[in-house]
């Protein structure tokens, strides 16, 4: 049992034998593939009863993978007794991805397709999927066939145990070490330490969330990988389970080393939001006071040199430094006060609470 620094978050690493078992390969799917007969029976109108699982899958130019992914999902979901829906988000694909998704949707009523006008990014795609999802549990995964749909029942088992977020851990990750694994190891360690939510693999898209978790998070920038950390302020329970991971069969990765800078900048944003979103004066005011005190002390020292020891200050850069520190101090304090007013406007204008309730017992008065 691993416990994060945040006392409200408990984490459970679940070990599973056979994690490296070889996945049964299916023949490559083409546009002529048909839906298996057992799908027609399970693909009734989703309005017949409440949906339990919503699977959100963003994609960009994955025409070779779509049909095979659907076939694997169909096989995996045949073991899930509860109602499911599959939500594909076409993030501005320029190939035939949307055409194939449209064909699948016409044959399988569980499928919903959202098509963006242009490429808005994976975070925006996840956000659109979360808004569309109607299930009690939302599962996210990639469309490049590197995630294993057969791991979905495992995630659902942990959700049924009472966890709010279940994150996949690619123990045997099938990616290059220098460009993918090493940056990921460094990023995961840094994110865990700065947010207090200890996960081995923040970058794994295969995750399961309770609906009320993702419905209460607004995503911007490249924040999708930080959802467990962003949700930690609610006092959620997080589990991490080993999952399968396969080498990419089609196309090429949409991510490179350039994402490292984006991840670091987003991490600073997450750190600020988690600890100072409702009290910005405490961070800006602290920096301002340090700067003011430093500038004032240095100014007094220079004044003593000038008045009592008759030393010239014209050629002393310390004089400019003292002035700069005082000005910066005033600016930091002012930024903190403005931040406080913006925070109050944000919460009060939307009647948005600064807390999260899990359940309430007792009769209403």
Residues 261 and 289 placed together within one structural domain of the fold: no
Residues 257 and 290 placed together within one structural domain of the fold: no
Maximum CA pair distance of the chain? 97
Residues 271 and 313 placed together within one structural domain of the fold: no
Residues 285 and 225 placed together within one structural domain of the fold: no
Residues 335 and 267 placed together within one structural domain of the fold: no
**Could you tell me if residue 180 is inside a domain?**
yes
Whether the CB-CB separation of 257 and 184 falls below 8 Å is answered with no
Residues 309 and 254 placed together within one structural domain of the fold: no
**Could you tell me if residue 359 is inside a domain?**
no
Residues 132 and 248 placed together within one structural domain of the fold: yes
CATH of residue 104's domain is 3.90.550.10
- Strand-pair partners of 84: 53
Report how far Cα 125 is from the mean position of its chain's Cα atoms. 12
Residues 296 and 270 placed together within one structural domain of the fold: no
Question: Strands 111-115 and 53-59, how do they pair?
Answer: unpaired
228 phi and psi, to 5 degrees?
Answer: -60, -40
Residues 66 and 186 placed together within one structural domain of the fold: yes
- Domain containing 304: what range? 281-349
**Could you tell me if residue 232 is inside a domain?**
yes
Residues 223 and 153 placed together within one structural domain of the fold: yes
Query: CB under 8 Å, gap of 24 or more: what pairs does 331-335 form?
Result: 331/288, 332/284, 332/285, 332/287, 332/288, 332/291, 333/284, 333/285, 333/288, 333/289, 333/292, 334/288, 335/280, 335/284, 335/288
85 phi and psi, to 5 degrees?
Answer: -140, 150
Boundary of a domain, candidates 235, 250, 275: 275
- Which H or E run includes 105? helix 97-107
**Could you tell me if residue 360 is inside a domain?**
no
- Would you write out the chain's pLDDT as a tens digit for each of its 365 residues? 344 444 444 444 444 444 433 333 334 444 444 444 444 444 444 444 588 999 999 999 999 999 999 999 999 998 888 899 999 999 999 999 999 999 999 999 999 999 999 999 999 999 999 999 999 999 999 999 999 999 999 999 999 999 999 999 999 888 877 777 888 888 888 888 888 888 999 989 999 999 999 998 888 878 888 999 888 888 889 999 999 998 888 777 656 566 677 788 888 888 888 888 888 999 999 999 999 999 999 999 999 998 888 888 877 899 999 999 999 999 999 999 999 999 888 888 877 777 777 777 887 65
CB burial class (10 A; 0-12, 13-18, 19+) of residue 347? middle
Residues 145 and 191 placed together within one structural domain of the fold: yes
Residues 255 and 125 placed together within one structural domain of the fold: yes
**Could you tell me if residue 355 is inside a domain?**
no
**Could you tell me if residue 362 is inside a domain?**
no
**Could you tell me if residue 122 is inside a domain?**
yes
For the chain, the 3-state helix, strand and coil shares in percent, each to the nearest 5, are 45, 15, 40
Q: Which of 221, 191, 223 is CA-nearest to residue 5? A: 191
138, 146, 282 from 364: Cα distances, Å: 31, 49, 37
Boundary of a domain, candidates 275, 290, 315: 275
Whether the CB-CB separation of 100 and 85 falls below 8 Å is answered with no
123 phi and psi, to 5 degrees?
Answer: -65, -45
pLDDT tens, position by position, 259-288: 677 788 888 888 888 888 888 999 999 999
Q: Is 203 helix (H, G, I), strand (E, B) or coil?
A: coil
How far apart CA 308 and CA 237 sit, in angstroms, is 64
Number of domains observed in the structure of the chain: 2
How far apart CA 49 and CA 251 sit, in angstroms, is 38
**Could you tell me if residue 73 is inside a domain?**
yes
Q: Which of 122, 267, 118 is CA-nearest to residue 183? A: 267
Boundary of a domain, candidates 243, 275, 307: 275
């Amino acid at each position: 049992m691993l416990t994060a620094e945040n006392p409200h978050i408990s984490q459970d690493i679940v070990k599973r034998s056979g994690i490296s078992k070889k996945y049964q390969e299916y023949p490559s799917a083409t546009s002529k593939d048909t839906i298996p007969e057992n799908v027609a029976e399970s693909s009734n109108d989703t309005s017949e009863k409440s949906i339990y699982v919503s699977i959100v899958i963003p994609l960009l130019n994955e025409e070779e993978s779509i049909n095979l992914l659907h076939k694997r999902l169909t096989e995996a979901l045949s073991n899930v007794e509860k109602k499911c829906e599959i939500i594909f988000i076409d993030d501005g694909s320029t190939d035939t991805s949307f055409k194939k998704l449209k064909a699948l949707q016409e044959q399988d009523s569980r499928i919903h397709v959202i098509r963006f006008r242009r490429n808005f990014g994976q975070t925006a795609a996840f956000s659109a999927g979360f808004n569309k999802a109607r299930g009690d549990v939302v599962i996210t995964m990639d469309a490049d066939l590197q995630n294993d749909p057969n791991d979905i029942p495992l995630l659902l088992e942990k959700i049924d145990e009472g966890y709010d977020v279940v994150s996949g851990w690619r123990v045997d990750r099938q990616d290059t070490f220098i460009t993918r694994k090493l940056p990921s190891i460094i990023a995961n360690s840094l994110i865990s330490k700065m947010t207090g939510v200890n996960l081995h693999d923040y970058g794994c898209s295969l995750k399961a969330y309770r609906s009320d978790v993702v419905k209460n998070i607004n995503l911007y920038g490249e924040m999708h990988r930080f959802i467990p950390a962003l949700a930690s302020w609610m006092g959620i329970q997080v589990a991490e389970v080993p999952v399968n991971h396969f080498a990419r069969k089609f196309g090429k990765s949409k991510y490179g080393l350039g994402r490292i800078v984006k991840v670091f900048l987003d991490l600073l944003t997450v750190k600020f939001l988690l600890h100072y979103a409702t009290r910005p004066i405490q961070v800006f005011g602290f920096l301002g006071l340090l700067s003011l005190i430093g500038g004032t002390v240095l100014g007094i020292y220079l004044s003593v040199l000038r008045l009592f020891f008759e030393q010239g200050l014209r050629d002393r850069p310390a004089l400019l430094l003292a002035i700069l520190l005082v000005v910066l101090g005033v600016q930091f304090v002012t930024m903190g006060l403005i931040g406080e007013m913006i925070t109050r406007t944000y919460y009060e204008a939307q009647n948005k609470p600064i807390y999260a309730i899990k359940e309430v017992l007792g009769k209403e008065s």
